[in-house]
Amino acid sequence: MAPTLFWIGLGNMGRGMCKNIVEKADVAQPVLVYNRTKQKSVDFSKQFPAEKTEIVDSIAAGVARADIIFMILAKDDIVEAVADEILKAGDVSGKLIVECSTIHPDTTVRVAKAFWDRGVEFVAAPVFGAPAMAEIGQLVGVLAGPKDSVQKASRYFKGVMAKGEIDMSDEPYEKALTLKLVGNTFILNMVEQLSEALVLAEKSGLGTQYLHELVGSMFPGPLAKACGVRMRNLEVADAHLDQVVEHQGEKGDIASIYGTVRAQAGLKYENEPEENKSKAKAQ
């Protein structure tokens, strides 16, 4: 019989990831869902037939019935707090935890040890991709842990939540999170560079359309500090992210860096589509 799945965390990434589990995974029972704000679970479940999901009122209630538990949460301290709740739920031996949050490698090691000490299998499985990619199942998963555990978890990644996965079977858990953090700096630098290039194209009169075509044709933090590496591009991008938070609050994301670069160049924070500008000129 297919295992019972329990999903914890229906934030920007979790909603799309869990949606694809519900729609595509081989499950014999409803997917159990829990979110700290219950209304998010209610809103999420409304999009499926009643037999596809079941809202649980507590982490303990979900853990008691689950074979595999997925977690994707916002911060390290929240992950550790939820892990503690799972361990207090009773007999958890033999269950599998698939931890998808982006947290510090050291946090992952602590959490994994706490589970292993209680006989719980653990896979570190951070993902690459934005919420829009999560929604359509086009993430890239990074799975680290014992090979048998990774194999159990991988059936829910490629072809379900993800378009691909990086298999780190039998590698230390922290390697998955190290790759995630290093990869995030790469992505952030690309966003910063594209933002500056788009603003330059707009300010110079070139317009953004041709730059979009060029890019489309050519291209179908703490960890660095600990290693003694200073990433100056990342410092600039990080400062711009602070400005994103000032302008948009917690709803802002890395794509909003474009708005801060526009504002610094004397343009409006929100950009206007190129076709709208053409229509305005024609009028």
pLDDT digits (tens, 9 = 90+) for 110-137: 999 999 999 999 999 999 998 989 999 9
For the segment(s) 5-171, the CATH number from 1.10.1740.10, 3.40.50.11540, 3.40.50.720, 2.120.10.30 is 3.40.50.720
pLDDT tens figures, 131-183: 989 999 999 999 999 999 999 999 999 999 999 999 999 999 999 999 999 88
pLDDT tens figures, 71-109: 999 999 999 999 999 999 999 999 999 999 999 999 999
pTM given for the model: 0.75
User: Boundaries of CATH 3.40.50.720 in the chain?
Assistant: 5-171
Checking if the pLDDT of 8 tops 70, the result is yes
Q: Which amino acid makes up residue 199?
A: V
Give 28 or 227, the one with higher predicted confidence: 28
By C-alpha distance, which of 260, 253, 221 is closest to 133?
Answer: 253
What contacts 24+ positions apart, CB below 8 Å, involve 216-223?
221/181, 221/184, 221/185, 222/104, 222/181, 223/104, 223/105, 223/178, 223/181, 223/182
Q: Which residues pair with 98 in a beta bridge?
A: 70, 123
Q: Give residue for tokens 């698939």.
A: 98
Would you state the torsion angle of the CA atoms of residues 198, 200, 204, 209, taken in this order, to the nearest 10 degrees?
-10
Checking if the pLDDT of 276 tops 80, the result is no
pLDDT of residue 223: 46
Tokens of 162: 């993800």
| CA distances for 266 relative to 226, 259, 270, 273, angstroms | 37, 11, 12, 17
The secondary structure element, H or E, covering residue 143 is strand 139-145
Q: Where are the alpha helices (DSSP H) in 155-208?
A: 173-203
Q: Mean of the pLDDT values across residues 246-264?
A: 69
Q: What 3-state DSSP class applies to 158?
A: strand
pLDDT of residue 201: 82
Q: How far apart are CA 267 and CA 20, in angstroms?
A: 39
pLDDT of residue 184: 86
Q: How far apart are CA 207 and CA 141, in angstroms?
A: 36
